[in-house]
Amino acid sequence: MSSWSGFSTGIEPKSVYHSSIPSLRCTVTAAALWIEQHWRRSTWLTALLAPLSLLFGAAAGARRALYRAGVLRPVRLPVPLIVVGNLTVGGTGKTPFVIWLAQRLRSQGWRPGIVSRGHGAAEAGPAPVAATSDPARFGDEPVLLARRTGCPVWIGRDRVSAAQALLAHHPECNVIISDDGLQHYRLGRQVEIAVVDGDKGFGNGWLLPAGPLRERPARLNEVDLVVVNGEARHPFAPGREHRMRLEGEQFYHLLNPRRVVPAGHFLGKRLHAVAGIGNPQRFFDRLRALGLCGISHAFPDHHRFRADELRFADAEAILMTEKDAIKCEAFADDRHWVLAVTAVVDPDPLPAILAKIGYRHGPQAA
């Protein structure tokens, strides 16, 4: 645990585990963070797992070759489908982009539906997700998507079945967005969008399990759009990149979302920041940019928080992301605040997306 000595120090991620957490849970959480650190560079673990990565790459390549050769055929839906995925394990910013895309499509008169696997969900699906659904049952990201977009959202480990079920229950939908699923080739698609974390990139460049890659970086040459989240150390797809940044300077109260305050409300207070997302450092950096300082706590992506993990006796306020907040509502108190962010994408990729999905399914066809 590290404390800020002043507002210029900023937030530094610190993995914090309390004695009240069962030892097995603590061990699993620590192991997940440890593996993520190893994936960021080549280590002895990389060499140990390299043979398995070669086998993984061969199997994945063979499966994709079967689809390209027509031996295996994707299932085509009666409406266009847009896949928003990534090449790596872990969060890259797909969910904020899916929210942005759904809102932009709706502003143009389209009626999108969203399908997701529902990472960590107890429900296998296909099943509908509402804004009030339990994130433990349906997944944190699908619940957030339902709240932020107002679109029909369905989850399912089989995304084809989830998409078909969504259309059966919502025939008004004329375009489907798949949150993740770039490697789910059975799901036929008109547009492929890859989201890349500008900071983490492709880690050590190795395929699973020696590295974080699901597919080789050359796959970016085949997708329709490449969206880079945040500042990149080097170009991933020169001349084809769309830059995404998350903007937001206001916080809403977790127990009373209508209560909104600016960042300045927390100046001089004893703060704790919690993040269980793909890149916790980005959240902590955002707080620092807003002039806030305190103690930070990094957890793995999709972490299921418990009340005893957030018992910070000295905290005057506990700051968190929207995705994490959804999982903390049941035990939140008056100190919990959520940073509301909105994605901004430049240059605007919507014209290219509309050109790919065509207009016969669009608003004028209604």
Residues of the binding site: 88-95
**Cα–Cα dist 70/47, whole Å:** 36
> Is the separation of the CB atoms in 171 and 152 below 8 Å?
no
Whole-angstrom CA distances from 72 to 64, 66, 186 are 9, 6, 8
> Is the separation of the CB atoms in 95 and 323 below 8 Å?
yes
Residues of the binding site for ATP: 88-95
Sorted by sequence, the CB contacts under 8 Å of residue 188 that are 6+ apart come out as: 74, 75, 76, 77, 81
**Cα–Cα dist 161/115, whole Å:** 10
**Cα–Cα dist 53/11, whole Å:** 35
Written as one letter, the residue type at 366 is: A
